[in-house]
């Protein structure tokens, strides 16, 4: 596996595993699995499960399987199978040769079902889906037994074989486990284990027209693969007795232990493939990999690094209680990593031209700039400087308010890595009154950004030389939802009504330093004073540079932490 291990934080699952290794349970082995259903792209919630499962396997010298839980042919596609593999690998994990599909076990699962029937533990039921629901009862009332519950083993075997042979239409019959219609656990009231579905499967084609249900498939797939610890989210807690029941009845050799943990919920975000697919299909975003999506492919395109996602997953920890994580923490982890790793560059998003009147026409020179103050090994680069430069429109005010320390008429500021300049004249468009150019002078003695006489300036601006500048498109992203809890909704409102109408702002005509001309898709940079940006992996190409803003520089999480510290 190619991902570096941090010191793992303690959590209750890790503790269970440590105890199991001590006691020699499962022969001291640790075999976990990540079992996505290929019915959509993975999201950051899945990352939590991936980091946990692969992380534990790495830590305890075990292994983690990647298993596609592909039992519902109507919703599953090959596109998702490929995307999921790409995403898990991108996160830094390697399943080696242990790539599996539940559909590989269809024949074995069928045999297990036959075994259950032969033991009198499963029966073919002709009730409709609606009737099955009615017969199931409620938490307060026991269920009612199906009139088909006491069919003979022979009749059940015959009907189940004919189900497989395609003799009956969809929904005509199901196979059910025969457990207990009075159980306090609804999952134990004769759950359906096979249904008829005349649908082509992305791997098995038309070989099957009956498909096993999740609860039956999952525990047996785990057992077939020799999984030791089957880690899943809390909503499966009530399914655990069923998980164990199947394995106990069938007397399998390997009986994995199911352990549940709380799923990740993130503020301002929806984390459910069923909802994310609505955003894609409804055209609210440009696709599964839209940089505003919480999908792994979306955050990758946005510029988040795999290391920052792993770090985030480790920091939020693993608990037994549901909670909502502040998205500011995720952004903080991203910033923390990018701060260490991204080269600094100068980019002007909304250019304002400055002419330095006392700088010789036609001259240009190269000035040394530091690539990353956090990483001396990143070295320096040379930046061209000339008589005409661009600065940020926001960095000039004709009539500066208090505490505005940037450029204004008569004021001197520093150009980063270059000189001090003073503004003498503002040139405006005659018709619109818009500021189109500034006329300044520079002090040749201040080369490198310091004055020999020790005089100080309060503002330092980033800039790009006009004749050397490279044009770029910049996409600024904001949160996709404008409320912290779009998922829970206000008075049952549809989550899509909370989409932030300003979540994407495209700026054309940005000017970036010349070294970025050959920036490659996926490269990440810090635009000095602005934020972290990543070259778009889809739309950027030679002659058309596109940058996605990954995160702005301002760190709201760091502020929250400081406040907490003060309160203490």
273 sits near ligand ATP (criterion: CB under 6 A): yes
Among 17, 30, 31, 36, binds ligand ATP (CB under 6 A): 36
274 sits near ligand ATP (criterion: CB under 6 A): yes
46 sits near ligand ATP (criterion: CB under 6 A): yes
233 sits near ligand ATP (criterion: CB under 6 A): yes
Phi, psi of 276, deg, nearest 5 = -60, -35
Tokens encoding 481: 């939802």
Minimum distance between the CB of residue 346 and ligand ATP, rounded to whole angstroms? 39
Among 32, 35, 93, 245, binds ligand ATP (CB under 6 A): 35
Among 183, 272, 371, 386, binds ligand ATP (CB under 6 A): 272
Beta-carbon contacts of residue 475 (< 8 Å; ≥ 6 apart): 291, 504, 505, 506, 507, 536, 546, 547, 548, 549
45 sits near ligand ATP (criterion: CB under 6 A): yes
Q: Which residues are catalytic?
A: 37, 263, 273
Tell me the C-alpha distance between 65 and 36, whole Å: 11
Among 29, 37, 185, 252, binds ligand ATP (CB under 6 A): 37
Which residue is closest to ligand ATP by CB? 45
Give the count of beta carbons closer than 10 Å to the beta carbon of residue 293: 26
Q: What share of the chain is helix, strand, coil (3-state, %, to 5)?
A: 35, 25, 40
Tell me the C-alpha distance between 179 and 185, whole Å: 11
Tell me the C-alpha distance between 73 and 79, whole Å: 13
* Cβ atoms of 276 and 288 closer than 8 Å: yes
Among 66, 232, 280, 469, binds ligand ATP (CB under 6 A): 232
Minimum distance between the CB of residue 259 and ligand ATP, rounded to whole angstroms? 11
203 sits near ligand ATP (criterion: CB under 6 A): no
Q: What residues from 250 to 269 belong to the interface with ligand ATP (CB under 6 A)?
A: 263-264
Minimum distance between the CB of residue 68 and ligand ATP, rounded to whole angstroms? 9
Beta-carbon contacts of residue 24 (< 8 Å; ≥ 6 apart): none
Tokens encoding 543: 């002659």
Minimum distance between the CB of residue 270 and ligand ATP, rounded to whole angstroms? 9
**Considering only 33-41, 89-97, 246-254, 368-376, which stretch makes contact with ligand ATP by CB under 6 A?**
33-41
Q: What is the DSSP string of 262-296?
A: PPPEETT----HHHHHHHHHTTSSSSTT-TTSSBH
305 sits near ligand ATP (criterion: CB under 6 A): no
**Smaller CB separation from ligand ATP, 304 or 442:** 304
**Smaller CB separation from ligand ATP, 243 or 527:** 243
For β-strands 435-443 and 388-392, DSSP reports them as unpaired
* Cβ atoms of 545 and 470 closer than 8 Å: yes
- Contact residues toward ligand ATP (CB under 6 A) are 35-37, 45-46, 48-49, 232-233, 263-264, 271-274
């Amino acid at each position: 596996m190619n991902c570096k291990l941090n010191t793992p934080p303690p959590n209750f699952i890790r503790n269970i595993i440590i105890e199991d290794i001590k006691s020699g349970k499962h022969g001291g082995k640790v075999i976990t699995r990540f079992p996505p259903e290929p019915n959509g792209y993975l999201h950051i919630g899945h990352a939590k499960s991936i980091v946990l499962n692969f992380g534990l396997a790495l830590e305890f010298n075990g292994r983690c399987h990647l298993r596609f839980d592909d039992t519902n042919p109507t919703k599953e596609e090959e596109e998702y199978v490929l995307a999921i593999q790409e995403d898990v690998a991108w996160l830094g994990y390697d399943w080696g040769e242990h790539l599996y599909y539940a559909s590989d076990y269809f024949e074995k699962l069928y045999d297990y079902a036959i075994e259950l029937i032969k033991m009198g533990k499963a029966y073919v039921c002709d009730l409709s889906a609606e009737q099955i629901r009615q017969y199931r009862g409620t938490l307060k009332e026991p269920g009612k037994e199906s009139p088909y519950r006491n069919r003979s083993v022979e009749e059940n075997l015959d009907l189940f074989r004919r189900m497989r042979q395609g003799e009956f239409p969809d929904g005509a019959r199901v196979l059910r486990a025969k457990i207990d219609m009075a159980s306090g656990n609804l999952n134990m009231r004769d759950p359906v284990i096979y249904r008829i579905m005349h649908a082509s499967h992305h791997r098995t084609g038309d070989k099957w027209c009956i498909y096993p249900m999740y609860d039956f498939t999952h525990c047996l797939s785990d057992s077939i693969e020799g999984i030791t610890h089957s880690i899943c989210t809390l909503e499966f807690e009530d399914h655990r007795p069923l998980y164990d029941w199947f394995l106990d009845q069938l007397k399998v050799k390997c009986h994995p232990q199911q352990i549940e943990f709380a799923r990740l919920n993130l503020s301002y975000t929806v984390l459910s493939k069923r909802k994310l697919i609505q955003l894609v299909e409804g055209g609210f975003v440009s696709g599964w990999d839209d940089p505003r999506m919480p999908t792994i492919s979306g955050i990758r395109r946005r510029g988040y690094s795999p290391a920052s996602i792993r770090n985030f997953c480790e920091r939020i920890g693993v608990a037994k209680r549901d909670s909502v994580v502040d998205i500011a923490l995720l952004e903080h982890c991203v910033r923390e990593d990018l701060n260490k790793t991204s080269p600094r560059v100068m980019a002007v998003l909304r250019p304002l031209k400055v002419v330095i009147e006392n700088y010789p026409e036609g001259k240009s020179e190269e000035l040394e700039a530091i690539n990353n103050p956090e990483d001396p090994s990143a070295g320096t680069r040379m930046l061209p400087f000339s008589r005409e430069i661009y600065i940020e429109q926001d960095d000039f005010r004709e009539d500066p308010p208090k505490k505005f320390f940037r450029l204004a008429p008569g004021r001197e500021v520093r150009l980063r890595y270059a000189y001090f300049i003073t503004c003498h004249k503002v040139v405006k468009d005659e018709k619109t009154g818009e500021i189109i150019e500034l006329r300044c002078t520079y002090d040749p003695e201040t080369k490198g950004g310091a004055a020999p006489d020790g005089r100080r300036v309060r503002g330092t601006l980033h800039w790009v030389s006009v004749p050397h500048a490279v044009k770029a498109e910049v996409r600024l992203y904001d949160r996709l939802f404008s409320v912290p809890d779009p998922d829970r909704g206000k008075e049952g409102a549809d989550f899509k009504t909370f989409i932030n109408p300003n979540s994407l702002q495209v700026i054309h005509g940005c000017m970036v330093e010349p070294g970025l001309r050959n920036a490659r898709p996926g490269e990440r940079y810090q635009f000095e004073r602005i934020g972290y940006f990543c070259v778009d992996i889809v739309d950027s190409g030679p002659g058309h540079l596109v940058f996605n803003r990954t995160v702005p520089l301002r760190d709201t999480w760091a502020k929250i932490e400081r406040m907490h510290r003060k309160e203490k």
